[in-house]
């Protein structure tokens, strides 16, 4: 969500916050104190270098060694930022929108019924198994933990185990605010313990996550309505139109919620892996990876930092952003800019995961590979092994045979050639920026007719098997 404000506007928002729901003291949640230790232990693990030193290497120069140490430290810092940093955005999600109150529920000092772990999992939120103490895992497995009780959600937050969501607790253990992290939309877990509970998979797109429904829990959406010059009921209508696996990163730039055909204007959540060597990122190529990281942390997550982009001053294209001077965002304390370097290094280190053995037909994929660079002519844009163009990886809408709606919401007015590695990890909610093609067969059919490729249906199948092998 983008409502980042220059400091002047933050004052007005803070006032709204003061006027918002005042909450009585929260109940102390049992099980939590024990968890705090485990959470600390987990943080310590996360801080350790992601890759082990390479065993029996011959004598290396002091310079080499210090370079290696430095690289490892930067990666570890970037991973910490990606997984755990809120950039101070709890001032928005918690303090202003009161999302924390909705999560806690009335019984725990918040408002409404609260959010139970079962409901949280149903909204696509994931739980990091590594953050759960062994005793708690055993209790969950034995059915001794009431997954319908919002108190348990608070305990899970206290353990720092909810991927991409951080709870802030006061000295008495009451939830006082909540913030979000990059991992919310760009990580999943491997479900090794139970559906939605397992080991973190950094960079995977969370296509189960219902961002709109989660934001919609907020008891105070008035600031969002005011920003968009509309009412709270309309904001709910828009949030409900997204559905799982989608988010509209441009809504708070231009206020456009629906495509001309009536479909939601939201984009599918993309993976954040496999981007090494890729020039422009986002489906409409807003900028480089580090450009977009700064954009997201400031304008979507509403962290506290600095962001410049005079392209957002264009009143016709970005009325909301221009009015609020989002392209000139400054915070008194910048909690984003110092983290951008390491964050980028970590993201670049995330390879697209290899497809599991047996998940595609290898012989058909080998035939598909020939077609990809031959008759189907895909490789003229999706250049292996990057699968996007080295250089300017952008195309006008007509060049790929689709409408210009989303391209026109970007300063580029173009679509970026998607890097294709790891497609098998995000088959839910469809392909292309808005998920318009339900599966890879539909994508291939689109190209077949747009480019008049005359692929037989067997050849189309082969091409799909190749795409699944990337």
Q: x/- site string to ligand HEC, residues 93 to 122, per CB under 6 A?
A: ------------------------------
Which residues, in sequence order, are CB contacts of 379 under 8 Å at separation 6+?
372, 373
CA-wise closest residue to 205 among 429, 426, 428, 436: 426
Can residue 92 be called a binding residue for ligand HEC (CB under 6 A)?
A: no
Residue whose CB is less far from ligand HEC, 174 or 284 = 284
Question: In terms of C-beta density within 10 A (0-12 exposed, 13-18 middle, 19 or more buried), how is residue 230 classed?
Answer: middle
Measured from the Cβ of residue 231, the count of other Cβ atoms closer than 10 Å reads: 13
CA-wise closest residue to 255 among 305, 301, 323: 323
Can residue 443 be called a binding residue for ligand HEC (CB under 6 A)?
A: yes
Which residues, in sequence order, are CB contacts of 459 under 8 Å at separation 6+?
367, 371, 375, 376
Chain residues 400-419 in contact with ligand HEC, contact rule CB under 6 A: 400, 415-418
Angle at which helices 440-450 and 457-469 pack, to 10 degrees?
A: 130
Which of 32, 211, 257, 350 lies at the binding interface for ligand HEC (CB under 6 A)? 211
Can residue 387 be called a binding residue for ligand HEC (CB under 6 A)?
A: no
Cβ-contact 138, 200 below 8 angstroms? no
Question: In terms of C-beta density within 10 A (0-12 exposed, 13-18 middle, 19 or more buried), how is residue 456 classed?
Answer: exposed
Can residue 86 be called a binding residue for ligand HEC (CB under 6 A)?
A: no
Which of 5, 177, 188, 284 lies at the binding interface for ligand HEC (CB under 6 A)? 284
Which of 46, 180, 235, 238 lies at the binding interface for ligand HEC (CB under 6 A)? 180
Can residue 365 be called a binding residue for ligand HEC (CB under 6 A)?
A: no
Minimum distance from residue 99 beta carbon to ligand HEC (Å): 13
CA-wise closest residue to 182 among 94, 50, 270: 270
Which of 34, 225, 345, 381 lies at the binding interface for ligand HEC (CB under 6 A)? 381
Angle at which helices 32-47 and 150-158 pack, to 10 degrees?
A: 40
Which of 92, 204, 273, 432 lies at the binding interface for ligand HEC (CB under 6 A)? 432
Minimum distance from residue 137 beta carbon to ligand HEC (Å): 27
The β-bridge partners of 189 are 200
Chain residues 298-357 in contact with ligand HEC, contact rule CB under 6 A: 300-301, 343
Query: Where along the sequence are the contacts to ligand HEC (CB under 6 A)?
Result: 180, 182, 184-186, 211, 247, 249, 267, 269-270, 272, 275, 281-284, 289, 292-293, 296-297, 300-301, 343, 376-378, 380-382, 395, 399-400, 415-418, 420, 423, 431-433, 440, 443-444, 447, 463, 467
């Amino acid at each position: 969500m983008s409502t980042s404000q220059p400091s002047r506007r933050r004052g007005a928002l803070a006032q709204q916050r003061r006027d918002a729901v005042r909450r009585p003291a929260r109940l102390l949640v049992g099980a939590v104190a024990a968890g705090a230790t485990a959470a600390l232990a987990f943080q310590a693990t996360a801080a350790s270098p992601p890759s082990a030193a390479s065993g029996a290497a011959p004598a290396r120069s002091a310079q080499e060694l210090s370079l290696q140490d430095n690289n490892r430290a930067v990666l570890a810092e970037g991973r910490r930022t990606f997984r755990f940093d809120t950039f101070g955005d709890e001032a928005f999600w918690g303090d202003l929108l009161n999302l924390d109150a909705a999560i806690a529920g009335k019984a725990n000092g918040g408002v409404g019924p609260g959010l139970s772990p079962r409901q949280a999992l149903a909204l696509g939120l994931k739980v990091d198994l590594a953050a759960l103490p062994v005793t708690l895992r055993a209790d969950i497995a034995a059915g001794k933990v009431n997954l319908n009780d919002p108190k348990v959600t608070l305990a899970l937050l206290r353990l720092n185990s909810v991927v991409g969501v951080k709870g802030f607790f006061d000295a008495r253990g009451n939830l006082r605010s909540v913030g979000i992290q990059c991992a919310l939309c760009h990580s999943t877990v491997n479900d090794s313990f139970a559906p939605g509970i397992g080991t973190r998979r950094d960079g995977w797109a969370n296509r189960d996550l219902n961002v709109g429904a989660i934001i919609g829990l907020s008891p105070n959406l008035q600031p969002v309505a005011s920003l968009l010059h509309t009412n709270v009921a309309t904001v709910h209508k828009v949030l409900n139109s997204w559905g799982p696996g989608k988010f509209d990163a441009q809504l708070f730039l231009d206020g456009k919620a629906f495509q001309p055909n009536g479909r939601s204007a939201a984009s599918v959540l993309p993976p954040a892996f496999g981007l090494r060597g890729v020039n422009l990122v986002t489906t409409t190529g807003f900028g480089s990876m580090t450009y977009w990281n700064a954009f997201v942390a400031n304008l979507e997550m509403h962290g506290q930092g600095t962001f410049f982009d005079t392209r957002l001053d264009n009143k016709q294209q970005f009325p909301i952003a221009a009015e609020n001077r989002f392209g000139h965002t400054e915070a008194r304390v910048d909690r984003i800019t110092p983290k951008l370097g390491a964050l980028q290094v970590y993201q670049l280190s995330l390879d697209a995961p290899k497809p599991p053995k047996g998940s595609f037909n290898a012989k058909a994929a080998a035939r598909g590979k020939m077609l990809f660079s031959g008759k189907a002519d895909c490789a003229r844009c999706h250049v292996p092994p990057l699968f996007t163009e080295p250089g300017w990886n952008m195309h006008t809408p007509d060049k790929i045979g689709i409408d210009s709606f989303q391209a026109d919401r970007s300063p580029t007015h173009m679509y970026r050639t998607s890097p294709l590695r790891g497609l098998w990890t995000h088959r839910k909610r469809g392909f292309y920026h808005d998920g318009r093609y339900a599966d890879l067969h539909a994508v291939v059919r689109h190209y077949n007719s747009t480019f008049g490729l005359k692929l037989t249906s067997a050849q189309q199948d082969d091409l799909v098997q190749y795409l699944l092998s990337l």
